[in-house]
Structure 1
Amino acid sequence: MRVLEFIREKREQFQKHNAEFIAKLEPQFKNLSSKVTQTLANTLNNPWVSFFKNDEDGDDEPRPLVLAPEAAKVYQQLQESLGEETFVGEWFLVDQDCINQFAAVTQDQQWIHTDVERATEESPFKTTIAHGFLTLSLIPMLTDTVNSEQNPYPEAKMVVNYGLNQVRFPYPVKSGSRVRARTRLIGLTPMKRSIEIVNEVSIEVENSKRLACVAETVLRLYF
């Protein structure tokens, strides 16, 4: 009997201590949960975040999409070019000075990019080559999307680089080579306040059959 009483007594003590422990922690968890919820709410209510939120957020039931007149006009024009080549750029020289400046900014000073003498002796390309990310970073300029004098989307209030779907660098750009961009419209999505555009951008190297870069770029036009 003493053993049973001892077990019963210890079980009651454990339950009591467990209840007291939970009672102490519960207010702290509630307070933490409240802080997290408030922080999240403040972030989502930030005007900058809300401007770029997906247009579908906040609606449980789908509603007919109504584009602003300016957006509807641009969307209709772009639809006619879907799947077609829409742009061929001018040739641009990628010289050693251009490569060195990019290396200095990114701190990527690998010898295959910056050491002309060593590259001549040891590189299979017998010269320095541009960084792949340098070629990629030239896309806005090569595609004229940052040309203030020839804005390809003049109706839009703002053009935002929304990202990349995929990127490949099939062949390097040797120092002193000229490159240009070809653009093909492959995706078009209308949204409440914007139009999402997906372009396949191919970077050509002059006098070469191989491409330096192939990237799917995603732009959003806001009206």
Structure 2
Amino acid sequence: MRLVESFKQGQEKLESINSEIKNRVETTLKSWPETINKKVSDIRNFSLPWTQYFHFFHDSEEPVINDIETAPKLSEKFTDLHRRIESNLGIENYIGEWFLVDQPCIDQFAQATGDHQWIHTDPQKAKNESPFKSTIAHGFLTLSLIPKLTDTVNPEKNDYPEARMLVNYGMNKVVFPSPVRAGKRIRARTRIIAVTPLRRGLELVREVTIEVENSKRPACIAEMLLRLYE
């Protein structure tokens, strides 16, 4: 009998606990809509200043406009330049000279950047342990050579004399499909793949492919953004 009574008492306590849990869950669920609405409102109020700042920043930049006919009026020479560039989109317009990437060149870049990883700077270890069997250039070394490889550092060379100012605006993307082994020569091939009118000029997307001598795979493909201003 005591065992039965004890069992009944335990069952009653369990039912009481279940009932209490159920009441708490129901109360919590009822308050969720109000809580969620408050959270959303808090987030919106918090983010409003940042949204305003974004619009202010965006409006202060050069707006990108796809249709030259609806763009703010460009000068006649820039309108002609836009049409000239657009008519040659996708056509290779430059092939550079070969440039030797030797170990001293790699070491200088390592010294400048602090990247002394052995695959770049230790020829003996690279010969024994690297799958490339030699040191290789840093990917960013190859990338940093683009101005030299495309001859854009030459003050006497200007592909766009109509522009008062040329600005390197960055990159859309860059990949390094193949390494450049020390002692190999590389060169650049370029083409313009997009042109967009701006408020006071044009934005070009210049695809730069860095090829390695006697290699089927390029060392680097980068989409460079160049802005030309009147």
TM-score of the pair, normalised by structure 2: 0.70
Superposition deviation, residue 134 in structure 1: 0.6
Largest Rg, 1 or 2: 2
Q: Is the 8 A contact 1:144 1:152 kept in 2?
A: no
Matching residue's letter, 2:62: N
- Which of 150, 156, 164 is the aligned partner of 1:157? 164
When residues 64 and 211 of structure 1 are mapped into structure 2, their CA distance, relative to the original with a 3 A threshold, is closer
Which residue in 2 is equivalent to 1:206? Answer: 213
Which residue in 1 is equivalent to 2:91? Answer: 84
Superposition deviation, residue 127 in structure 1: 1.0
CA RMSD of aligned residues (A): 2.7
Which residue in 2 is equivalent to 1:54? Answer: 62
Alignment partner of 1:118 is 2:131: no
Superposition deviation, residue 86 in structure 1: 1.2
When residues 56 and 116 of structure 1 are mapped into structure 2, their CA distance, relative to the original with a 3 A threshold, is closer
Alignment partner of 1:97 is 2:107: no
Matching residue's letter, 1:85: E
Is the deviation greater in 75-84 or in 209-218? 75-84
Which residue in 1 is equivalent to 2:146? Answer: 139
Q: Is the 8 A contact 1:185 1:197 kept in 2?
A: yes
Q: Is the 8 A contact 1:55 1:193 kept in 2?
A: no
When residues 102 and 148 of structure 1 are mapped into structure 2, their CA distance, relative to the original with a 3 A threshold, is same
Which residue in 2 is equivalent to 1:20? Answer: none
Which residue in 2 is equivalent to 1:25? Answer: none
Q: Is the 8 A contact 2:86 2:194 kept in 1?
A: no
Q: Which 5+ residue runs of structure 2 have no aligned equivalent?
A: 1-48
Aligned length: 179
Matching residue's letter, 1:210: R
Matching residue's letter, 2:63: D
Superposition deviation, residue 73 in structure 1: 2.5
Alignment partner of 1:70 is 2:69: no
1:70 alignment partner, SS class:
helix
Superposition deviation, residue 206 in structure 1: 0.4
Matching residue's letter, 1:144: D
- Counterparts of 1:170 and 1:63, CA distance in 2: 39
Q: Which 5+ residue runs of structure 1 have no aligned equivalent?
A: 1-35
- Counterparts of 2:107 and 2:175, CA distance in 1: 22
1:137-166 Cα distance to aligned partner (Å, 9 max, x none)? 111211122221222222212211111111
1:108-130 Cα distance to aligned partner (Å, 9 max, x none)? 11000011111111111111100
After TM superposition, what 4+ stretches of structure 1 lie above 4 angstroms from structure 2?
none
1:211 alignment partner, SS class:
coil
- Counterparts of 1:56 and 1:132, CA distance in 2: 31
Superposition deviation, residue 63 in structure 1: 5.8
Q: Is the 8 A contact 2:210 2:218 kept in 1?
A: yes
Alignment partner of 1:219 is 2:226: yes
Percent identity for Structure 1 against Structure 2: 57
- Counterparts of 2:88 and 2:62, CA distance in 1: 25
